[in-house]
Amino acid sequence: MLSAINDALLLLGQPDSGILGIVRVSLQVSFSALLLGCLVGLPLGALLATESFPGRKILIVIVNSLMGVPTVVVGVVVYLLLSHTGPIGNWGWLFTIKGMILAQFCLTTPLIAALSRQLIEDAWIHHRESFSALQLAWLPRLKWLIWDCRFSLSIVLLAGLARAISEIGAVMIVGGNIDHHTRTMTTAIALETSKGDLPLALALGLVLMSLVIGANLITYLIRHSAEQRYG
Amino acid sequence: MDKSMIQIRDLQLILDNRTILDISSADIPCVGIVACIGANGAGKTTLLKALHGIVRPQQGCITMPLQNSNSALRSALVLHHTPMIRASVRTNLNLVSDSPYPPQAGAVDEMLQEIGLAHLAQAPAKKLSAGERQKLCIGRARLLKPQLVLLDEPTANLDPTATEQVEELIRMLGKEKTSVIFSSHQLAQVQRLANYIIFMAKGQIVECGTPAEFFNNPQTAAAKQFLKFSGGLLV
């Protein structure tokens, strides 16, 4: 085991294009999915937090439930959508990075929407009257609520990133784990472990852990300094 | 219809089976500084919110005076407690830029100067004192260029210095030909600022008049009792 760790560290000291490519694909897919998830999830969470409309409660239950859907189930659904006979099969996204982003987008959006709804709802209770007094329309209200909650929402983004970068089921099914094309850190770790190439699996695991810890650390520092400044 | 009067007719607002407002008929002058006084729970705050339109009564109507262009009178409401968003003083003031009446370019900077908060423009609004917050809120209301400013207990919980500063801002509004209706529990302040008083009890406007009329010769038992226990009865 010690020699495997040693070899993993050596690999990381002189990373080849294969490792760098895997890391690049992982980051590209996860950050794209996170960005798109934020663009849809944050306004959706804010809408559910601030507006009253028929079916709102049912929608909240659905969004909350989707947070816990197994990644492989999402993978299968997206696979069926993108397969030749699927409704969007003609897009040609199956076994491509775009397809993987779509799958992870389906994973991150409900999580971001559900968590942000709770945070924004608390802020809305706080600001409701003053925003109404200023006669702010729906969109400016959402903008300022999200702005007010931005430090708390950083935790939501972190949760979304963790959900995306650490999942294996959806990207394995939709991406196909094709070498130099759709192979991510998680799918590569699973494959290399099954092949017995523990140093590479460990090296990618260390990169993955470093990224998650680094993202947490940066978020903590930004949030801490901002909260000290703005209260 | 008197063009300087806010007309209230058959107004009723019930929340959780409790009558909050029940005003059969009242005319409130929309000129100068009007004080709305009464005990806790009399309906002062709800009346201000109804006048601003953020509370919808179940029945009755409030008719605001028309302006020159026959458009409805523009009001601004400053709540008793206005939470700040986690941002600078300038950003909190800038919230009005997303209102239906955005201020002109440079107006925010001018207002920061006028309300004496220019040196705190970049400071976090959450760290302002209660008096500074109130000045910010009044400044924000003024940026909307309203013809009527509604202030809900504008100097509650303020020290004498901050109270004086906020009262000066209210006087300034009066000088700008902006009508002011404010609620207050401080009868001395009402005497200092108001040129008309409406007295509320149990959701009703039970008495109106000039400060001299109200303080020297209250007509109703409710007003007499209120003044007696508030130490405001001068006769």
Query: What domains sit in chain A, N to C, each tagged with a CATH number?
Result: 23-230 (1.10.3720.10)
Q: What is the DSSP string of B174-231?
A: HHTT-EEEEE-S-HHHHHHH-SEEEEEETTEEEEEE-HHHHHHS--SHHHHHHHHHHT
Is B95 in Cβ contact with A151 (below 8 Å)?
no
Q: Does residue B13 come out as left (phi exceeding 0), alpha (psi in the -120 to 50 range) or beta? A: beta
| Cα distance between residue A122 and residue A112, in whole Å | 16
Closest to B7 in 3D by CA, of B58, B47, B63:
B63
- Domain-located, residue B68: yes
- Contacting residues for A43 by C-beta, under 8 A, at least 6 apart: A142
| Per-residue model confidence as pLDDT tens for chain B (235 residues) | 556 889 999 999 998 889 999 999 999 998 899 999 999 999 999 999 999 999 999 999 999 887 666 677 889 999 998 999 999 999 999 999 999 999 998 999 999 999 999 999 999 999 999 999 999 999 999 999 999 999 999 999 899 999 999 999 999 888 888 999 999 988 999 999 999 999 999 999 999 999 999 999 999 999 998 998 887 655 4
pLDDT at B138: 93
pLDDT at B70: 62
CA distances from B6 to B36, B51, B67 (A): 14, 9, 12
pLDDT at A179: 92
| Cα distance between residue A147 and residue A138, in whole Å | 14
Closest to A179 in 3D by CA, of A161, A197, A166, A162:
A197
A122-159 burial: b if 16+ Cβ within 10 Å, else e: ebbeebebbbbbbbbeeebbbebbbebbbbbbbbbbbb
Containing structural domain, residue B204: 5-84+147-230
Q: What is the DSSP string of A181-208?
A: TT--HHHHHHHHHHHT-HHHHHHHHHHH
Asked if A228 reaches chain B (Cβ–Cβ under 8 Å), the answer is no
- Domain-located, residue B218: yes
- Domain-located, residue B42: yes
| Cα distance between residue A208 and residue B154, in whole Å | 55
Preferred mutation among A124, A125, A127, A129 to probe B, highest tally of B CBs within 10 A:
A129
Is B83 in Cβ contact with A126 (below 8 Å)?
yes
CA distances from A36 to A1, A42, A198, B23, B45 (A): 40, 10, 34, 52, 43
pTM of the model: 0.82
Tally of CB atoms within 10 A around B172: 14
Which chain B residues have any C-beta within 8 angstroms of a chain A C-beta?
49, 52, 54, 76-79, 82-83, 85-87, 95-96, 98-100, 124, 126-127, 140, 144
CB contact residues (below 8 A), chain A span 114-133, against chain B: 126-127, 129-130, 132-133
CA distance, residue B62 to nearest chain A CA (Å) = 17
Residue A217 has pLDDT above 90, yes or no: yes
The pair of structure tokens assigned to A202 is 């460990």
Provide the H-helix boundaries in B15-127: 44-52, 89-93, 107-114
Give residue-wise pLDDT tens across range A84-128: 999 999 999 999 999 999 999 999 999 999 999 999 999 999 999
- Domain-located, residue B163: yes
| Cα distance between residue B211 and residue A2, in whole Å | 89
Residue A158 has pLDDT above 80, yes or no: yes
Residue A22 has pLDDT above 60, yes or no: yes
- Domain-located, residue B137: no
Query: In this complex, how many residue pairs, one in chain A and one in chain B, have their CB atoms less than 8 Å apart?
Result: 54
What is the pLDDT confidence band of residue A18, given thresholds at 50, 70 and 90? confident
Preferred mutation among A126, A130, A144 to probe B, highest tally of B CBs within 10 A:
A130
Average pLDDT of chain A, as a whole number: 93
* Higher per-residue confidence, A77 vs B64: A77
Residue A31's φ and ψ, nearest 5 degrees, are -70, -35
Is B95 in Cβ contact with A136 (below 8 Å)?
yes
CA distance, residue A119 to nearest chain B CA (Å) = 14
For residue B217, the domain's CATH number is 3.40.50.300
| Cα distance between residue A94 and residue A92, in whole Å | 6
In this structure, are strands B75-78 and B148-152 parallel, antiparallel, or unpaired?
parallel
The pair of structure tokens assigned to A55 is 């079916």
Is B54 in Cβ contact with A143 (below 8 Å)?
no
CA distances from A224 to A20, A154, B2 (A): 32, 11, 57
Handedness of CA A81, A84, A90, A91 (dihedral sign): positive
| Cα distance between residue B173 and residue B163, in whole Å | 15
Specify the amino acid at residue A231.
G
The pair of structure tokens assigned to A206 is 């260390």
pLDDT at B2: 59
Please state at what angle helix A138-148 crosses helix A97-133, rounded to 10 degrees. 100
Preferred mutation among B46, B48, B49, B54 to probe A, highest tally of A CBs within 10 A:
B54
* Number of domains comprising chain B: 1
- Contacting residues for A199 by C-beta, under 8 A, at least 6 apart: A4, A7, A8, A10, A11
The answer to whether residues B199 and B174 touch, using CB atoms and an 8 Å cutoff, is: no
pLDDT at B235: 42
Is A147 in Cβ contact with B76 (below 8 Å)?
no
Could you give the 3-state DSSP secondary structure of residue B84?
coil
Give residue-wise pLDDT tens across range A78-92: 999 999 999 999 999
